[in-house]
A and B are shown apart, each in its own frame.
Chain A
Amino acid sequence: MIIKSKGYKTFRVINVFIMLLVIVITLFPVLNILAKSFSDLKNLTQNTVSIIPKGFNVDTYKTIMGDMDFWNDYKNTVIYTVLGTIISLVMTTMFAYALSVPRLMGKKFLTAFVVFTMFFNGGIIPNYMIVNGLHMRNTVWAIVVPGAISTFNLIVMRTFFEGIPKELEEAASIDGMNTYGILMRIIIPLSKPIIATMVLFYAVGMWNSWFSAFLYLDHTELLPVTIYLRNLIAGAMSATGADADSLGTVSVNIKYVTIVLTSVPILCVYPFLQKYFVQGVMIGSVKG
Protein backbone atom coordinates (compact mmCIF):
# COMPACT_ATOMS: atom_id res chain seq x y z
CA MET A 1 0.00 0.00 0.00
CA ILE A 2 1.38 3.36 -0.98
CA ILE A 3 0.75 6.37 1.20
CA LYS A 4 -2.50 8.07 0.21
CA SER A 5 -2.00 11.55 -1.15
CA LYS A 6 -3.25 14.60 0.67
CA GLY A 7 -5.59 15.33 -2.23
CA TYR A 8 -7.24 11.94 -1.82
CA LYS A 9 -7.75 12.51 1.89
CA THR A 10 -9.42 15.83 1.15
CA PHE A 11 -11.60 14.13 -1.42
CA ARG A 12 -12.67 11.50 1.10
CA VAL A 13 -13.82 14.18 3.50
CA ILE A 14 -15.69 16.08 0.77
CA ASN A 15 -17.22 12.84 -0.44
CA VAL A 16 -18.67 12.11 2.99
CA PHE A 17 -20.32 15.53 2.89
CA ILE A 18 -21.69 14.89 -0.59
CA MET A 19 -23.16 11.59 0.61
CA LEU A 20 -24.70 13.26 3.64
CA LEU A 21 -26.17 15.85 1.28
CA VAL A 22 -27.66 13.04 -0.84
CA ILE A 23 -29.29 11.59 2.29
CA VAL A 24 -30.68 15.00 3.25
CA ILE A 25 -32.04 15.74 -0.24
CA THR A 26 -33.61 12.29 -0.51
CA LEU A 27 -35.19 12.25 2.93
CA PHE A 28 -36.12 15.89 3.44
CA PRO A 29 -39.26 15.94 1.25
CA VAL A 30 -40.42 12.67 2.81
CA LEU A 31 -39.82 13.84 6.39
CA ASN A 32 -41.43 17.18 5.54
CA ILE A 33 -44.65 15.42 4.55
CA LEU A 34 -44.48 13.22 7.65
CA ALA A 35 -44.03 16.27 9.90
CA LYS A 36 -46.88 18.10 8.19
CA SER A 37 -49.20 15.14 8.69
CA PHE A 38 -48.82 15.64 12.46
CA SER A 39 -49.02 19.46 12.43
CA ASP A 40 -52.02 21.71 13.05
CA LEU A 41 -53.69 24.08 10.61
CA LYS A 42 -52.17 27.27 12.02
CA ASN A 43 -48.62 26.09 11.45
CA LEU A 44 -49.45 24.62 8.09
CA THR A 45 -50.96 27.80 6.68
CA GLN A 46 -48.18 29.94 8.15
CA ASN A 47 -45.84 27.54 6.41
CA THR A 48 -43.45 26.99 9.29
CA VAL A 49 -43.14 23.20 9.33
CA SER A 50 -39.90 21.65 8.12
CA ILE A 51 -39.12 18.18 9.46
CA ILE A 52 -40.42 18.50 13.02
CA PRO A 53 -44.19 18.61 13.54
CA LYS A 54 -45.45 21.95 14.88
CA GLY A 55 -48.63 22.14 16.90
CA PHE A 56 -48.47 18.36 17.20
CA ASN A 57 -51.84 16.74 16.75
CA VAL A 58 -53.30 13.51 15.46
CA ASP A 59 -56.77 14.87 14.69
CA THR A 60 -56.53 14.15 11.01
CA TYR A 61 -55.34 10.60 11.68
CA LYS A 62 -58.33 10.18 13.98
CA THR A 63 -60.69 11.62 11.37
CA ILE A 64 -59.35 9.39 8.64
CA MET A 65 -59.55 6.35 10.91
CA GLY A 66 -63.31 6.91 10.96
CA ASP A 67 -63.61 7.73 7.26
CA MET A 68 -65.33 4.76 5.66
CA ASP A 69 -64.52 5.94 2.11
CA PHE A 70 -60.83 5.92 2.91
CA TRP A 71 -60.88 2.44 4.45
CA ASN A 72 -63.00 1.11 1.64
CA ASP A 73 -60.41 2.34 -0.86
CA TYR A 74 -57.57 1.07 1.29
CA LYS A 75 -59.22 -2.34 1.47
CA ASN A 76 -59.60 -2.30 -2.35
CA THR A 77 -55.89 -1.57 -2.72
CA VAL A 78 -55.06 -4.53 -0.48
CA ILE A 79 -57.42 -6.82 -2.45
CA TYR A 80 -56.08 -5.69 -5.84
CA THR A 81 -52.51 -6.07 -4.65
CA VAL A 82 -52.97 -9.56 -3.24
CA LEU A 83 -55.09 -10.85 -6.12
CA GLY A 84 -52.99 -9.11 -8.79
CA THR A 85 -49.73 -10.39 -7.35
CA ILE A 86 -51.01 -13.97 -7.19
CA ILE A 87 -52.28 -13.90 -10.79
CA SER A 88 -49.10 -12.26 -12.06
CA LEU A 89 -46.85 -14.62 -10.16
CA VAL A 90 -48.63 -17.79 -11.30
CA MET A 91 -48.83 -16.70 -14.94
CA THR A 92 -45.23 -15.48 -15.05
CA THR A 93 -43.88 -18.61 -13.36
CA MET A 94 -45.76 -20.99 -15.68
CA PHE A 95 -44.64 -19.20 -18.81
CA ALA A 96 -41.07 -18.57 -17.64
CA TYR A 97 -40.61 -22.21 -16.70
CA ALA A 98 -41.98 -23.50 -20.01
CA LEU A 99 -39.71 -21.09 -21.89
CA SER A 100 -36.68 -22.28 -19.93
CA VAL A 101 -37.13 -25.96 -20.89
CA PRO A 102 -34.78 -26.82 -23.79
CA ARG A 103 -37.07 -29.50 -25.25
CA LEU A 104 -39.97 -27.05 -25.72
CA MET A 105 -40.93 -26.93 -29.39
CA GLY A 106 -41.29 -23.44 -30.83
CA LYS A 107 -39.17 -21.98 -28.04
CA LYS A 108 -37.47 -19.52 -30.36
CA PHE A 109 -40.72 -18.38 -31.85
CA LEU A 110 -42.37 -17.96 -28.45
CA THR A 111 -39.44 -15.95 -27.13
CA ALA A 112 -39.58 -13.61 -30.14
CA PHE A 113 -43.38 -13.44 -29.76
CA VAL A 114 -42.92 -12.25 -26.19
CA VAL A 115 -39.92 -9.97 -26.63
CA PHE A 116 -41.55 -8.11 -29.52
CA THR A 117 -44.19 -6.76 -27.12
CA MET A 118 -41.43 -4.96 -25.22
CA PHE A 119 -40.69 -2.84 -28.26
CA PHE A 120 -44.10 -2.30 -29.72
CA ASN A 121 -47.32 -1.94 -27.83
CA GLY A 122 -50.86 -1.30 -28.89
CA GLY A 123 -51.21 2.02 -27.13
CA ILE A 124 -53.70 3.41 -24.65
CA ILE A 125 -56.78 3.57 -26.86
CA PRO A 126 -56.66 0.05 -28.35
CA ASN A 127 -55.95 -1.32 -24.87
CA TYR A 128 -58.96 0.51 -23.57
CA MET A 129 -61.08 -0.93 -26.37
CA ILE A 130 -60.03 -4.49 -25.52
CA VAL A 131 -60.83 -4.12 -21.82
CA ASN A 132 -64.08 -2.40 -22.69
CA GLY A 133 -64.96 -5.02 -25.30
CA LEU A 134 -64.43 -7.83 -22.79
CA HIS A 135 -66.86 -6.10 -20.40
CA MET A 136 -64.17 -5.81 -17.77
CA ARG A 137 -64.91 -2.17 -16.97
CA ASN A 138 -65.98 -1.63 -13.38
CA THR A 139 -64.75 -5.04 -12.31
CA VAL A 140 -61.62 -6.02 -10.42
CA TRP A 141 -60.42 -7.84 -13.57
CA ALA A 142 -59.76 -4.55 -15.40
CA ILE A 143 -57.18 -3.83 -12.71
CA VAL A 144 -55.48 -7.19 -12.24
CA VAL A 145 -55.63 -8.85 -15.67
CA PRO A 146 -54.44 -6.48 -18.46
CA GLY A 147 -51.01 -6.02 -16.88
CA ALA A 148 -50.74 -9.54 -15.48
CA ILE A 149 -47.41 -10.41 -17.09
CA SER A 150 -44.59 -7.91 -17.30
CA THR A 151 -42.36 -9.10 -20.14
CA PHE A 152 -39.29 -7.77 -18.37
CA ASN A 153 -40.12 -9.85 -15.27
CA LEU A 154 -40.86 -12.86 -17.45
CA ILE A 155 -37.43 -12.70 -19.08
CA VAL A 156 -35.74 -12.22 -15.69
CA MET A 157 -37.48 -15.30 -14.31
CA ARG A 158 -36.79 -17.41 -17.40
CA THR A 159 -33.11 -16.50 -17.21
CA PHE A 160 -33.05 -17.51 -13.56
CA PHE A 161 -34.72 -20.87 -14.32
CA GLU A 162 -32.25 -21.51 -17.13
CA GLY A 163 -29.46 -21.23 -14.57
CA ILE A 164 -30.79 -24.15 -12.49
CA PRO A 165 -28.74 -27.28 -13.29
CA LYS A 166 -30.68 -29.52 -15.67
CA GLU A 167 -29.32 -32.65 -13.94
CA LEU A 168 -31.74 -32.10 -11.07
CA GLU A 169 -34.74 -32.21 -13.41
CA GLU A 170 -33.35 -35.17 -15.34
CA ALA A 171 -32.81 -37.16 -12.15
CA ALA A 172 -36.34 -36.40 -10.96
CA SER A 173 -37.72 -37.28 -14.37
CA ILE A 174 -35.97 -40.68 -14.28
CA ASP A 175 -37.48 -41.23 -10.85
CA GLY A 176 -40.86 -40.85 -12.54
CA MET A 177 -41.72 -37.31 -11.51
CA ASN A 178 -43.92 -35.50 -14.02
CA THR A 179 -43.53 -31.89 -15.26
CA TYR A 180 -45.90 -30.43 -12.70
CA GLY A 181 -44.08 -32.26 -9.94
CA ILE A 182 -40.70 -31.00 -11.16
CA LEU A 183 -41.97 -27.42 -11.28
CA MET A 184 -43.65 -27.55 -7.87
CA ARG A 185 -41.16 -29.63 -5.93
CA ILE A 186 -37.80 -28.87 -7.53
CA ILE A 187 -37.82 -25.61 -9.47
CA ILE A 188 -39.95 -23.44 -7.17
CA PRO A 189 -38.18 -24.40 -3.93
CA LEU A 190 -34.86 -23.53 -5.61
CA SER A 191 -36.18 -20.18 -6.84
CA LYS A 192 -37.11 -18.44 -3.61
CA PRO A 193 -34.89 -15.39 -4.27
CA ILE A 194 -36.38 -14.74 -7.70
CA ILE A 195 -39.91 -15.34 -6.42
CA ALA A 196 -39.32 -12.82 -3.63
CA THR A 197 -38.12 -10.34 -6.25
CA MET A 198 -41.17 -10.93 -8.44
CA VAL A 199 -43.55 -10.59 -5.51
CA LEU A 200 -41.93 -7.27 -4.61
CA PHE A 201 -41.97 -5.93 -8.19
CA TYR A 202 -45.56 -6.97 -8.89
CA ALA A 203 -46.94 -6.03 -5.47
CA VAL A 204 -45.30 -2.59 -5.47
CA GLY A 205 -46.48 -1.98 -9.03
CA MET A 206 -50.04 -2.94 -8.15
CA TRP A 207 -50.10 -1.10 -4.82
CA ASN A 208 -48.83 2.10 -6.43
CA SER A 209 -50.88 1.95 -9.64
CA TRP A 210 -53.70 4.40 -10.24
CA PHE A 211 -54.15 4.91 -13.96
CA SER A 212 -55.99 1.70 -14.83
CA ALA A 213 -58.38 2.39 -11.95
CA PHE A 214 -58.78 5.96 -13.18
CA LEU A 215 -59.55 4.72 -16.68
CA TYR A 216 -61.68 1.66 -16.00
CA LEU A 217 -63.48 2.18 -12.70
CA ASP A 218 -66.42 4.56 -12.33
CA HIS A 219 -68.05 3.05 -9.25
CA THR A 220 -66.65 4.81 -6.19
CA GLU A 221 -66.84 1.67 -4.05
CA LEU A 222 -64.24 -0.01 -6.31
CA LEU A 223 -61.57 2.69 -6.22
CA PRO A 224 -58.10 2.07 -4.78
CA VAL A 225 -56.47 4.45 -2.33
CA THR A 226 -54.21 5.99 -4.99
CA ILE A 227 -57.32 7.42 -6.64
CA TYR A 228 -58.49 8.73 -3.27
CA LEU A 229 -55.18 10.57 -3.04
CA ARG A 230 -55.25 11.66 -6.66
CA ASN A 231 -58.69 13.19 -6.15
CA LEU A 232 -57.44 15.05 -3.08
CA ILE A 233 -54.55 16.48 -5.10
CA ALA A 234 -56.70 17.31 -8.13
CA GLY A 235 -59.34 18.81 -5.84
CA ALA A 236 -56.75 20.92 -4.07
CA MET A 237 -55.42 22.15 -7.38
CA SER A 238 -58.77 23.07 -8.82
CA ALA A 239 -60.14 24.63 -5.62
CA THR A 240 -58.00 27.75 -5.82
CA GLY A 241 -56.22 27.22 -9.07
CA ALA A 242 -53.11 25.85 -7.45
CA ASP A 243 -53.59 25.35 -3.81
CA ALA A 244 -55.34 24.32 -0.70
CA ASP A 245 -55.27 27.57 1.24
CA SER A 246 -59.01 28.13 1.38
CA LEU A 247 -59.87 24.69 2.77
CA GLY A 248 -60.27 23.63 6.42
CA THR A 249 -57.81 21.92 8.82
CA VAL A 250 -58.52 18.35 7.97
CA SER A 251 -58.80 19.16 4.26
CA VAL A 252 -55.30 20.64 4.29
CA ASN A 253 -53.85 17.94 6.46
CA ILE A 254 -55.61 14.95 4.97
CA LYS A 255 -53.39 14.94 1.90
CA TYR A 256 -50.30 14.41 4.06
CA VAL A 257 -51.95 11.74 6.16
CA THR A 258 -53.09 9.90 3.03
CA ILE A 259 -49.60 10.08 1.52
CA VAL A 260 -48.15 8.67 4.73
CA LEU A 261 -50.69 5.86 5.06
CA THR A 262 -50.35 4.96 1.37
CA SER A 263 -46.58 4.79 1.43
CA VAL A 264 -45.82 3.28 4.82
CA PRO A 265 -46.50 -0.41 4.00
CA ILE A 266 -44.09 -0.45 1.06
CA LEU A 267 -41.42 1.63 2.75
CA CYS A 268 -41.46 -0.84 5.64
CA VAL A 269 -40.95 -3.82 3.36
CA TYR A 270 -38.44 -2.87 0.65
CA PRO A 271 -35.29 -2.53 2.83
CA PHE A 272 -35.59 -6.20 3.79
CA LEU A 273 -35.81 -7.37 0.21
CA GLN A 274 -32.92 -5.24 -1.04
CA LYS A 275 -30.62 -8.20 -1.64
CA TYR A 276 -33.23 -9.87 -3.84
CA PHE A 277 -34.33 -6.97 -6.01
CA VAL A 278 -30.76 -5.90 -6.68
CA GLN A 279 -30.16 -9.43 -7.97
CA GLY A 280 -33.36 -9.28 -10.03
CA VAL A 281 -32.36 -6.03 -11.71
CA MET A 282 -28.96 -7.51 -12.50
CA ILE A 283 -30.34 -10.66 -14.12
CA GLY A 284 -32.66 -8.48 -16.18
CA SER A 285 -29.81 -6.36 -17.43
CA VAL A 286 -27.82 -9.33 -18.67
CA LYS A 287 -30.63 -10.71 -20.82
CA GLY A 288 -33.02 -7.88 -21.43
Chain B
Amino acid sequence: MQKKSFTRNVKRIAKDWQLYSLLILPVLYYVIFKYGPMIGNVIAFRKYVPGGPWLGTKWVGLKYFKMFVTDPAFWNVFRNTLVISVSSLVFSFPIPIIFALLLNEVKNVFFKRTIQTISYLPHFLSIVVVAGMIIDFLSPSVGFVNQVLKQLTGHTIQFMQISSYFVPIYVISGIWQEMGWGAILYLAALTNINTELYEAAEIDGAGRWKQTLHVTIPGIMPTVAILFILNLGNLLNVGFEKVLLLYNPAIYDTSDVISTYLYRIAFTTNSFSYATAIGLFESVIGLALVIGSNKLTKKFAETSLW
Protein backbone atom coordinates (compact mmCIF):
# COMPACT_ATOMS: atom_id res chain seq x y z
CA MET B 1 0.00 0.00 0.00
CA GLN B 2 2.80 2.34 0.98
CA LYS B 3 4.47 1.56 -2.33
CA LYS B 4 1.31 2.23 -4.28
CA SER B 5 0.83 5.69 -2.79
CA PHE B 6 4.52 6.35 -3.39
CA THR B 7 4.26 5.57 -7.10
CA ARG B 8 1.08 7.61 -7.26
CA ASN B 9 2.90 10.57 -5.75
CA VAL B 10 5.78 10.18 -8.19
CA LYS B 11 3.29 10.18 -11.05
CA ARG B 12 1.61 13.27 -9.69
CA ILE B 13 4.96 15.07 -9.43
CA ALA B 14 6.00 13.94 -12.91
CA LYS B 15 2.76 15.21 -14.39
CA ASP B 16 3.06 18.50 -12.48
CA TRP B 17 6.82 18.80 -12.91
CA GLN B 18 6.73 22.50 -13.71
CA LEU B 19 5.33 23.33 -10.28
CA TYR B 20 7.85 21.14 -8.47
CA SER B 21 10.75 22.45 -10.55
CA LEU B 22 10.15 25.84 -8.93
CA LEU B 23 11.11 24.30 -5.60
CA ILE B 24 14.52 22.94 -6.60
CA LEU B 25 16.71 26.03 -6.25
CA PRO B 26 15.00 27.59 -3.23
CA VAL B 27 14.90 24.30 -1.28
CA LEU B 28 18.55 23.67 -2.11
CA TYR B 29 19.27 27.19 -0.89
CA TYR B 30 17.51 26.56 2.42
CA VAL B 31 19.28 23.24 2.90
CA ILE B 32 22.74 24.70 2.29
CA PHE B 33 22.54 28.19 3.72
CA LYS B 34 19.98 27.86 6.49
CA TYR B 35 20.18 24.23 7.62
CA GLY B 36 23.85 23.73 6.70
CA PRO B 37 25.00 26.16 9.40
CA MET B 38 22.72 24.45 11.93
CA ILE B 39 24.58 21.20 11.24
CA GLY B 40 27.84 23.16 11.37
CA ASN B 41 27.04 23.78 15.02
CA VAL B 42 28.34 20.29 15.84
CA ILE B 43 31.82 21.80 15.95
CA ALA B 44 30.74 23.24 19.30
CA PHE B 45 31.12 19.64 20.53
CA ARG B 46 34.15 18.77 18.43
CA LYS B 47 37.72 19.91 18.14
CA TYR B 48 37.96 22.06 15.04
CA VAL B 49 41.11 23.37 13.40
CA PRO B 50 40.71 26.13 10.81
CA GLY B 51 41.73 24.67 7.49
CA GLY B 52 41.15 21.12 8.78
CA PRO B 53 38.16 18.86 8.11
CA TRP B 54 34.84 20.70 7.75
CA LEU B 55 33.19 19.28 10.86
CA GLY B 56 36.28 19.00 13.04
CA THR B 57 38.57 16.18 14.04
CA LYS B 58 37.26 14.55 17.25
CA TRP B 59 34.48 14.70 19.82
CA VAL B 60 35.24 16.67 22.96
CA GLY B 61 31.81 16.65 24.58
CA LEU B 62 30.87 19.74 26.56
CA LYS B 63 34.42 21.03 26.89
CA TYR B 64 33.67 24.37 25.19
CA PHE B 65 30.45 24.88 27.10
CA LYS B 66 32.28 24.36 30.39
CA MET B 67 34.83 26.83 29.13
CA PHE B 68 32.42 29.72 28.74
CA VAL B 69 30.47 28.95 31.90
CA THR B 70 33.69 29.49 33.85
CA ASP B 71 34.84 32.42 31.71
CA PRO B 72 34.22 35.69 33.62
CA ALA B 73 34.38 37.66 30.35
CA PHE B 74 31.46 35.59 29.08
CA TRP B 75 29.24 36.52 32.03
CA ASN B 76 30.12 40.15 31.51
CA VAL B 77 28.99 40.07 27.87
CA PHE B 78 25.93 38.05 28.86
CA ARG B 79 24.95 40.76 31.34
CA ASN B 80 25.61 43.50 28.77
CA THR B 81 23.43 41.70 26.24
CA LEU B 82 20.58 41.57 28.73
CA VAL B 83 21.01 45.19 29.81
CA ILE B 84 21.06 46.45 26.21
CA SER B 85 18.14 44.32 25.04
CA VAL B 86 15.92 44.98 28.06
CA SER B 87 16.56 48.73 27.95
CA SER B 88 15.85 48.72 24.22
CA LEU B 89 12.56 46.96 24.82
CA VAL B 90 11.50 49.15 27.76
CA PHE B 91 12.33 52.45 26.09
CA SER B 92 11.95 51.76 22.37
CA PHE B 93 8.71 49.83 22.54
CA PRO B 94 6.26 52.46 23.87
CA ILE B 95 7.57 55.38 21.78
CA PRO B 96 6.14 54.30 18.38
CA ILE B 97 2.77 53.71 20.06
CA ILE B 98 2.71 57.21 21.52
CA PHE B 99 3.89 58.64 18.20
CA ALA B 100 1.13 56.81 16.31
CA LEU B 101 -1.52 58.01 18.77
CA LEU B 102 -0.36 61.61 18.47
CA LEU B 103 -0.01 61.44 14.70
CA ASN B 104 -3.54 60.07 14.54
CA GLU B 105 -4.79 63.30 16.09
CA VAL B 106 -3.31 65.36 13.26
CA LYS B 107 -6.25 66.10 11.01
CA ASN B 108 -4.50 67.87 8.15
CA VAL B 109 -3.86 65.04 5.67
CA PHE B 110 -0.93 66.73 3.94
CA PHE B 111 0.82 67.51 7.23
CA LYS B 112 0.19 63.99 8.48
CA ARG B 113 1.61 62.38 5.34
CA THR B 114 4.65 64.63 5.40
CA ILE B 115 5.45 63.73 9.00
CA GLN B 116 5.01 60.06 8.18
CA THR B 117 7.34 60.17 5.19
CA ILE B 118 9.99 62.06 7.14
CA SER B 119 9.70 59.69 10.09
CA TYR B 120 10.57 56.70 7.86
CA LEU B 121 13.76 58.33 6.60
CA PRO B 122 16.24 57.14 9.26
CA HIS B 123 15.07 53.54 8.82
CA PHE B 124 16.43 53.57 5.27
CA LEU B 125 19.92 54.69 6.25
CA SER B 126 22.66 52.07 6.37
CA ILE B 127 23.76 51.15 9.88
CA VAL B 128 27.25 52.23 8.81
CA VAL B 129 25.90 55.68 8.02
CA VAL B 130 24.00 55.84 11.31
CA ALA B 131 27.08 54.75 13.28
CA GLY B 132 29.14 57.36 11.45
CA MET B 133 26.54 60.00 12.29
CA ILE B 134 26.43 59.00 15.96
CA ILE B 135 30.21 59.15 16.32
CA ASP B 136 30.32 62.48 14.52
CA PHE B 137 27.37 63.99 16.37
CA LEU B 138 28.92 63.14 19.74
CA SER B 139 32.51 63.92 18.80
CA PRO B 140 34.29 66.36 21.18
CA SER B 141 35.83 68.34 18.33
CA VAL B 142 33.27 68.46 15.52
CA GLY B 143 30.09 67.14 17.12
CA PHE B 144 26.94 69.17 17.55
CA VAL B 145 26.17 67.87 21.05
CA ASN B 146 29.54 68.99 22.38
CA GLN B 147 29.18 72.29 20.57
CA VAL B 148 26.06 72.95 22.67
CA LEU B 149 27.63 71.52 25.84
CA LYS B 150 30.64 73.77 25.47
CA GLN B 151 28.50 76.85 25.19
CA LEU B 152 26.45 75.85 28.21
CA THR B 153 29.09 74.42 30.53
CA GLY B 154 32.45 75.17 28.96
CA HIS B 155 33.32 71.47 28.92
CA THR B 156 33.17 68.76 26.32
CA ILE B 157 32.55 65.06 26.91
CA GLN B 158 34.24 62.14 25.11
CA PHE B 159 30.95 60.25 24.83
CA MET B 160 32.30 57.28 22.90
CA GLN B 161 35.10 56.71 25.41
CA ILE B 162 33.02 56.57 28.59
CA SER B 163 31.38 53.26 29.47
CA SER B 164 28.28 54.60 31.15
CA TYR B 165 27.15 56.45 28.01
CA PHE B 166 27.09 53.45 25.71
CA VAL B 167 23.67 52.00 26.55
CA PRO B 168 21.85 55.36 26.41
CA ILE B 169 23.57 56.17 23.10
CA TYR B 170 22.60 52.77 21.70
CA VAL B 171 18.97 53.04 22.84
CA ILE B 172 18.36 56.69 21.92
CA SER B 173 19.87 56.32 18.45
CA GLY B 174 17.73 53.20 18.01
CA ILE B 175 14.62 55.18 18.86
CA TRP B 176 15.68 57.91 16.44
CA GLN B 177 16.16 55.40 13.65
CA GLU B 178 13.12 53.17 14.11
CA MET B 179 10.39 55.26 15.74
CA GLY B 180 8.58 56.13 12.51
CA TRP B 181 8.96 52.68 10.98
CA GLY B 182 7.76 51.04 14.20
CA ALA B 183 4.58 53.12 14.08
CA ILE B 184 3.39 51.70 10.72
CA LEU B 185 1.40 48.84 12.22
CA TYR B 186 -0.14 50.97 14.93
CA LEU B 187 -1.24 53.57 12.40
CA ALA B 188 -2.85 50.81 10.36
CA ALA B 189 -4.62 49.48 13.46
CA LEU B 190 -5.83 53.01 14.25
CA THR B 191 -7.37 53.52 10.83
CA ASN B 192 -9.14 50.17 11.18
CA ILE B 193 -11.06 51.20 14.29
CA ASN B 194 -14.73 51.43 13.45
CA THR B 195 -15.78 55.10 13.30
CA GLU B 196 -19.21 54.16 14.63
CA LEU B 197 -17.56 53.45 17.97
CA TYR B 198 -16.41 57.05 18.13
CA GLU B 199 -19.83 58.33 17.15
CA ALA B 200 -21.48 56.19 19.82
CA ALA B 201 -19.01 57.43 22.42
CA GLU B 202 -19.68 61.00 21.37
CA ILE B 203 -23.43 60.54 21.75
CA ASP B 204 -22.73 59.17 25.23
CA GLY B 205 -21.00 62.48 25.94
CA ALA B 206 -17.42 61.24 25.87
CA GLY B 207 -14.88 63.95 25.12
CA ARG B 208 -11.83 63.37 22.97
CA TRP B 209 -9.73 62.19 25.91
CA LYS B 210 -12.39 59.71 27.06
CA GLN B 211 -12.72 58.47 23.46
CA THR B 212 -8.98 57.86 23.32
CA LEU B 213 -9.10 55.99 26.61
CA HIS B 214 -12.15 53.84 25.86
CA VAL B 215 -12.13 53.44 22.08
CA THR B 216 -8.70 54.14 20.61
CA ILE B 217 -6.48 52.39 23.12
CA PRO B 218 -8.61 49.22 23.37
CA GLY B 219 -8.69 49.29 19.54
CA ILE B 220 -4.94 49.00 19.20
CA MET B 221 -4.34 46.77 22.22
CA PRO B 222 -4.28 43.50 20.23
CA THR B 223 -1.57 44.94 17.95
CA VAL B 224 0.37 46.22 20.95
CA ALA B 225 0.18 42.85 22.70
CA ILE B 226 1.23 40.83 19.67
CA LEU B 227 4.15 43.12 18.85
CA PHE B 228 5.25 43.08 22.49
CA ILE B 229 5.28 39.29 22.52
CA LEU B 230 7.18 39.20 19.22
CA ASN B 231 9.73 41.61 20.67
CA LEU B 232 10.07 39.45 23.74
CA GLY B 233 10.85 36.48 21.50
CA ASN B 234 13.62 38.46 19.80
CA LEU B 235 14.95 39.84 23.06
CA LEU B 236 18.51 38.60 22.69
CA ASN B 237 18.87 39.81 19.10
CA VAL B 238 20.96 42.83 19.97
CA GLY B 239 22.01 44.82 16.91
CA PHE B 240 25.33 43.04 16.45
CA GLU B 241 26.46 45.17 13.51
CA LYS B 242 25.64 48.40 15.32
CA VAL B 243 27.60 47.39 18.41
CA LEU B 244 30.51 46.25 16.25
CA LEU B 245 30.60 49.65 14.57
CA LEU B 246 30.20 51.71 17.73
CA TYR B 247 32.19 50.03 20.46
CA ASN B 248 35.90 50.23 21.20
CA PRO B 249 38.19 48.55 23.76
CA ALA B 250 37.89 51.47 26.20
CA ILE B 251 34.20 50.72 26.74
CA TYR B 252 34.05 46.92 26.33
CA ASP B 253 32.85 46.58 29.93
CA THR B 254 29.39 47.91 28.98
CA SER B 255 29.26 47.56 25.20
CA ASP B 256 30.63 44.10 24.44
CA VAL B 257 27.75 41.68 23.79
CA ILE B 258 27.60 37.92 23.24
CA SER B 259 27.74 38.15 19.45
CA THR B 260 30.62 40.64 19.32
CA TYR B 261 32.53 38.61 21.91
CA LEU B 262 32.22 35.37 19.99
CA TYR B 263 33.06 37.21 16.78
CA ARG B 264 36.36 38.37 18.29
CA ILE B 265 37.07 34.94 19.76
CA ALA B 266 36.61 33.35 16.35
CA PHE B 267 38.48 35.83 14.22
CA THR B 268 41.24 37.06 16.51
CA THR B 269 42.13 33.85 18.36
CA ASN B 270 40.83 31.36 15.76
CA SER B 271 38.89 29.42 18.44
CA PHE B 272 36.03 28.50 16.11
CA SER B 273 34.68 25.73 18.32
CA TYR B 274 34.57 27.90 21.41
CA ALA B 275 32.88 30.72 19.52
CA THR B 276 30.35 28.29 18.04
CA ALA B 277 29.52 26.92 21.49
CA ILE B 278 28.74 30.45 22.70
CA GLY B 279 26.68 31.15 19.59
CA LEU B 280 24.74 27.92 20.01
CA PHE B 281 24.01 28.78 23.63
CA GLU B 282 22.63 32.15 22.52
CA SER B 283 20.51 30.57 19.75
CA VAL B 284 19.03 28.01 22.12
CA ILE B 285 18.04 30.68 24.64
CA GLY B 286 16.58 32.65 21.72
CA LEU B 287 14.55 29.63 20.60
CA ALA B 288 13.28 29.08 24.14
CA LEU B 289 12.19 32.72 24.30
CA VAL B 290 10.36 32.42 20.97
CA ILE B 291 8.57 29.24 22.03
CA GLY B 292 7.65 30.80 25.38
CA SER B 293 6.34 33.97 23.81
CA ASN B 294 4.47 31.96 21.20
CA LYS B 295 2.61 30.20 24.00
CA LEU B 296 1.76 33.63 25.36
CA THR B 297 0.41 34.67 21.96
CA LYS B 298 -1.85 31.64 21.82
CA LYS B 299 -3.10 32.29 25.30
CA PHE B 300 -3.61 35.93 24.46
CA ALA B 301 -5.35 35.20 21.16
CA GLU B 302 -7.84 33.00 23.04
CA THR B 303 -8.58 35.50 25.76
CA SER B 304 -8.80 38.35 23.28
CA LEU B 305 -11.68 36.68 21.45
CA TRP B 306 -14.38 37.60 23.95
The chain A residues found within 8 Å of chain B, CB to CB, are: 1-2, 4-5, 7-8, 11-12, 15-16, 18-19, 22-23, 25-30, 32-33, 36, 44-45, 47-48, 50, 91-92, 94-95, 97-98, 101, 103-105, 110, 113-114, 117, 119-130, 133-134, 145-146, 148-149, 178-180, 183, 204, 207-211, 226, 229-230, 232-233, 236-237, 241-245, 252, 255-256, 259, 262-263, 266-267, 270-271, 274, 278, 281-282, 285, 288
Contacts and interface: CB of A to CB of B under 8 A. Distances in A.
Give 9 closest A-B pairs by Cβ, nearest first: A122-B37, A126-B40, A208-B126, A123-B279, A95-B26, A126-B37, A179-B18, A117-B34, A94-B22
Given A123-B37, A130-B37, A26 B121 contact: yes
B230 A263 contact: no
A32 B144 contact: yes
Nearest to A230: B128
Given A105-B12, A113-B30, A252 B105 contact: no
A243 B263 CA distance: 25
Contacts of A288: 230
Contact of B161 (A26, A91, A242, A285): A242
Contact of A149 (B26, B41, B133): B26
B65 interface: no
Nearest to A258: B132
Given A47-B142, A119-B287, A230-B245, A124 B279 contact: yes
Contacts of B279: 123-126
Contacts of A210: 126-128, 241
A162 to B, nearest CB: 15
B272 A125 contact: yes
Contacts of B253: none
A267 B124 contact: yes
Contacts of A119: 233, 286-287, 290-291
A16 B105 CA distance: 9
Interface stretch (B73-81, B84-92, B110-118): B110-118
B109 interface: no
B57 interface: no
A233 B245 contact: yes
Interface residues of B, number: 101
Contacts of A8: 207-209
Given A23-B118, A122-B36, A129-B272, A45 B266 contact: no
Contacts, number: 270
A130 B36 contact: yes
Interface string B209-230: 1000000000000010010001
Contacts of B41: 122-123, 126
Nearest to B51: A132
Residue with the greatest number of chain B CB neighbours at <10 A, chosen from A15, A29, A134: A29
Contacts of A179: 16, 18-19, 22
Nearest to A209: B126
18 contacts: A8-B208, A19-B103, A22-B119, A23-B114, A29-B176, A36-B142, A98-B26, A101-B19, A119-B287, A120-B286, A122-B34, A123-B37, A124-B240, A229-B132, A236-B135, A237-B248, A252-B142, A281-B185
B165 to A, nearest CB: 12
B32 interface: yes
B283 A123 contact: yes
A130 B29 CA distance: 12
A105 B139 contact: no
A4 B122 CA distance: 36
Interface string B154-173: 00001011000000000000
